[in-house]
Amino acid sequence: MKGTGLFTSRSLDSENRLISLTLPNLCFLFWFSHASIFSWQKIQGNKTSSLKLEPPFFASFCSPPRIKDEPDDDGFYASPKEDSKPLKRPREDDDFKTFFEEKGNIVACSDRFLLILQDSKAKKAKSKDKKVPEADKRKKPKKEEEQKWKWWEEERYPEGIKWKFLEHKGPVFAPPYEPLPENVKFYYDGKVMKLSTKAEEVATFFAKMLDHEYTTKEIFRKNFFKDWRKEMTSEEKSTITNLSKCDFTHMSQYFKAQSEARKQMSKEEKQKIKEENERLLKEYGYCVMDNHKERIANFKIEPPGLFRGRGNHPKMGMLKRRIMPEDIIINCSKDSKIPPPPPGHKWKEVRHDNKVTWLVSWTENIQGSIKYIMLNPSSRIKGEKDWQKYETARRLKKCVDKIRNQYREDWKSKEMKVRQRAVALYFIDKLALRAGNEKEEGETADTVGCCSLRVEHIKLHPELDGQEYVVEFDFLGKDSIRYYNKVPVEKRVFKNLQLFMENKQPEDDLFDRLNTSILNKHLQDLMEGLTAKVFRTYNASITLQQQLKELTNPDDNIPAKILSYNRANRAVAILCNHQRAPPKTFEKSMMNLQSKIDAKKEQLADARRELKSAKADAKVRRDEKSKKTVESKKKAVQRIEEQLMKLEVQATDREENKQIALGTSKLNYLDPRISVAWCKKWGIPIEKIYNKTQREKFAWAIDMAEEDYEF
DNA sequence: GCGGGTACTTAGAAACCGCGCT
DNA sequence: AGCGCGGTTTCTAAGTACCCGC
């Protein structure tokens, strides 16, 4: 990997799917600089693969480099929460309110809604002309003002109030069931059987999943069959008694043919579908919240189907029933145009609660939990919250040393409860574990977080591979993703763990005197707004910032710098254990890339040969023309070298990424202002780091962060 | 403290789509 | 023009957190 100066070796063993990477030496000379090998395995489903990373940059987050003393407020934007004095422009909703009062009735308001939906410019003329002072108007760009609304420059609502006006069109329901054509047969025990519409619908859910591993799982089949039978007529129920005798293959083939046909559709037909979707989005995909048109994240109601829990879920295969208008609670302003239920139906309830952000809710039948329709991440209401999250994490930065000292003290406490709390917090901080709420047994897959760790999830090694006091973690976390890690800990922690495990069974709680509520209460005392998850945000963001500092080589070209960025991002993903199944086409795409590289290498060799002969030629002829030839050949070689390097960088990046998902941390844990500042500092176009959606979500950060931003 | 309920964030997989290649 | 690939978008499950009444 010449050129990048970062990468020392890479090897791929396709046999056992193990990658060993020697990452650049990012070690910190601090607590964990001796840390061991970090490895994990992914065992969701029956996939098993493992990834090893050595040496230990993953642990480095615990020791942020001493950043020169922070200008206490300089560079800090007023946090959305603590900031009480109005920063910039006042909210505009009074503008709207006035308009609204002038019209004085509901129709006026929904007129406005329609106007906004149809034409934001027209709306502009109507509402703004009356109130907005000249100066203000000139300041704003004339077009697409609605999209470029800088909510982050406006005053925020007092705590608790989420909006003052909300109008929307309600949800889009799943399309009704279309019975199968007569010629598509279902067989039971080898014989054709015509199913009732209800039973048939549920059967199609199963048929559509026939190729999926789910349908081979005992629990899935059992749950499905039980719920399916509930939908059958009594005759069907008495005939169909054994799922193994059911033959869905014809149905399955039919659906495959259907989706094939869909792919083969003509351009016009595809265009028509596209337009229909756009129409739906236009009509139902937006709402008006406080004077602004905002995108809704999920305006379509989840269609019925079979529940696909992750990991070993006891409810997999159960029937997710169809949601009807009668299940739906609508939330909107009293004075808005209330969305009408579909003809012949009623809403369950219409309420006007501006202390919450959701527009629509219903109760789902598998777990009995509530589902919501809410706004897009680009909306003010989500963006403000996101911004606030990072501000809380930055406040933690200021007191994290103190908190760390505190919990280290607490390891010695004479109170068991305090010791457990302190050790758990140490894990949350050092390993970025999740809090670990209790879960109802038998209702969900058996997964744990920090506070819910059980004795069986850790092993203590007084000595392992030449290191002292090693704790071996092995448990399933969120989404049944395996967390596997061997971590050297301080002696005191180790001794405490031994104590916590004394006289316990493997299935007993490790921290029997602790839960997330106790932990969070304690954290609240240490810093306002502090909860367990803030540590994840803080450690992720500080790691990114630090890794970017370490890895970015000023002399690198743009692709190499982006590789560095991705590596910094990767360090965070590893810290947070964000794994993915290796893409199905991984090996193949890697081979393709390799052959491209080989081709490029040959091309380079050719170009070099040509250059050489051109040089020789020039030496003999000593004329202008041959000199020029040499120059152009030189250029060609350089160009090809650059292309080759780009490809090699790409290969490296992809390979290092095989089992690591960068998206989650990028979207949820990394203060976007760090990335924006990095881009500005090194002249990297922001588009190289964030795609369109991400830029929309992080518009606030892109607008406000300068090159010198410090998390 | 604790059990139930609610609101909201975080998560990986699957579906989709557009673009470059043949 | 059809095809495959990779990035993007959609989907919805699975977490965290906190409230309330006892």
pLDDT band at A143 (very low <50, low <70, confident <90, very high): low
Active site residue A709: no
* Residue A687 pLDDT > 50: yes
Distance from residue A91's CA to nucleotide B13's C1', rounded to whole Å: 40
Average pLDDT over residues A216-236: 96
Determine how many CB atoms are found less than 10 A away from the CB of residue A132.
Answer: 16
Q: Is the CB of A578 under 7 A from strand B?
A: yes
CA angle A363, A365, A370 (to 5 degrees): 25
A124 or A658: which carries more pLDDT confidence? A658
pLDDT of residue A34: 26
pLDDT of residue A414: 93
A33 or A603: which carries more pLDDT confidence? A603
C1'-nearest nucleotide to the CA of A375:
B8
Residue A360 and residue A382 in contact, taking contact as beta carbons nearer than 8 Å: no
- For A89, the token pair is 């422009």
Residue A637 and residue A613 in contact, taking contact as beta carbons nearer than 8 Å: no
Distance from residue A415's CA to nucleotide B3's C1', rounded to whole Å: 27
> Cα dihedral angle (A113, A115, A118, A124), rounded to 10 degrees?
-120
C1'-nearest nucleotide to the CA of A669:
B10
pLDDT band at A501 (very low <50, low <70, confident <90, very high): very high
C1'-nearest nucleotide to the CA of A355:
B7
Protein-covered nucleotides of chain B (CB closer than 7 Å) are 2, 5-14, 17
The Cα–Cα gap between A487 and A461 comes to 10
Distance from residue A565's CA to nucleotide B9's C1', rounded to whole Å: 25
Identify, with chain letter, the residue nearest to nucleotide C9 (CA–C1'). A693
Identify, with chain letter, the residue nearest to nucleotide C15 (CA–C1'). A478
C1'-nearest nucleotide to the CA of A515:
B1
Residue A310 and residue A44 in contact, taking contact as beta carbons nearer than 8 Å: yes
In this predicted model, what pLDDT tens digit does every residue of A558-575 receive, in sequence order?
888 998 999 999 999 999
Protein-covered nucleotides of chain C (CB closer than 7 Å) are 5-9, 11-19
pLDDT of residue A278: 87
pLDDT > 70: what percent of chain A? 79
* Residue A107 pLDDT > 60: no
Helix (H, G, I), strand (E, B) or coil at A436: coil
In this predicted model, what pLDDT tens digit does every residue of A321-339 receive, in sequence order?
999 999 999 999 999 999 9
pLDDT band at A65 (very low <50, low <70, confident <90, very high): very low
pLDDT of residue A245: 96
Helix (H, G, I), strand (E, B) or coil at A39: strand
Distance from residue A372's CA to nucleotide C10's C1', rounded to whole Å: 16
Distance from residue A321's CA to nucleotide C18's C1', rounded to whole Å: 30
Residue A547 and residue A563 in contact, taking contact as beta carbons nearer than 8 Å: no
The Cα–Cα gap between A109 and A123 comes to 12
Least confident of A83-97, A389-403, A405-419: A83-97
* Residue A137 pLDDT > 50: no
Determine how many CB atoms are found less than 10 A away from the CB of residue A297.
Answer: 16
Residue A49 and residue A583 in contact, taking contact as beta carbons nearer than 8 Å: no
Task: Report which of A387, A406, A466 is spatially closest to residue A676, judged by C-alpha positions.
Answer: A387
* Residue A511 pLDDT > 60: yes
Identify, with chain letter, the residue nearest to nucleotide B12 (CA–C1'). A580
pLDDT of residue A147: 52
Average pLDDT over residues A82-111: 37
Distance from residue A595's CA to nucleotide C5's C1', rounded to whole Å: 15
* Residue A36 pLDDT > 60: no
pLDDT of residue A522: 96
What DSSP string describes A613-667? HHHHHHHHH--HHHHHHHHHHHHHHHHHHHHHHHHHHHHHHHHHTTTB--HHHHH
**DSSP summary character for residue A300:** B
Q: Return the amino acid letter for A447.
A: T
Helix (H, G, I), strand (E, B) or coil at A514: coil
* Residue A46 pLDDT > 90: no
- For A259, the token pair is 């989706």
Task: Report which of A361, A550, A575, A599 is spatially closest to residue A483, judged by C-alpha positions.
Answer: A575
Determine how many CB atoms are found less than 10 A away from the CB of residue A703.
Answer: 12
Distance from residue A646's CA to nucleotide C6's C1', rounded to whole Å: 17
Distance from residue A454's CA to nucleotide C5's C1', rounded to whole Å: 44
Q: Give backbone dihedrals phi and psi of A174, rounded to 5 degrees, phi first.
A: -65, 145
A441 or A118: which carries more pLDDT confidence? A441
Averaged confidence pLDDT in chain A: 81
For chain A residues 350-379, those near strand B by a CB cutoff of 7 A are: 353, 355-358, 361, 363, 368-370, 372, 374
The Cα–Cα gap between A75 and A85 comes to 17
Identify, with chain letter, the residue nearest to nucleotide B5 (CA–C1'). A369
Helix axes A416-431, A532-551, angle to 10 degrees: 30
pLDDT of residue A601: 84
* Residue A49 pLDDT > 90: no
Residue pointed to by tokens 């970017």: A548
Relative to beta strand A18-22, strand A49-54 is parallel
Residue A689 and residue A705 in contact, taking contact as beta carbons nearer than 8 Å: no
The Cα–Cα gap between A365 and A304 comes to 11
Distance from residue A478's CA to nucleotide B10's C1', rounded to whole Å: 10
Q: Is the CB of A277 under 7 A from strand B?
A: yes
Least confident of A125-134, A377-386, A654-663: A125-134
Q: Is the CB of A541 under 7 A from strand B?
A: no
Helix (H, G, I), strand (E, B) or coil at A599: helix
Q: Is the CB of A386 under 7 A from strand B?
A: yes
Distance from residue A30's CA to nucleotide C8's C1', rounded to whole Å: 40
Q: Give buried/exposed letters for A500-530 (b at 16+ CB in 10 A, else e).
A: beeeeeeeebbbeebbbebbbebbeeebebb
C1'-nearest nucleotide to the CA of A657:
C6
pLDDT of residue A648: 81
pLDDT band at A108 (very low <50, low <70, confident <90, very high): very low
Q: Return the amino acid letter for A426.
A: Y
Q: Is the CB of A663 under 7 A from strand B?
A: yes
The H or E element containing residue A306 is strand A305-306
* Residue A51 pLDDT > 90: no
C1'-nearest nucleotide to the CA of A481:
B12
The H or E element containing residue A330 is strand A329-331
- Report how far Cα A578 is from the mean position of its chain's Cα atoms: 9
A265 or A217: which carries more pLDDT confidence? A217
Full-model pTM? 0.80
Identify, with chain letter, the residue nearest to nucleotide C12 (CA–C1'). A302
Taking CA atoms, A648 is separated from A435, A532, A682, in Å, by: 40, 40, 22
C1'-nearest nucleotide to the CA of A592:
C5
For chain A residues 207-236, those near strand B by a CB cutoff of 7 A are: 212
Which position among A284, A669, A690, A709 bears the catalytic label? A669
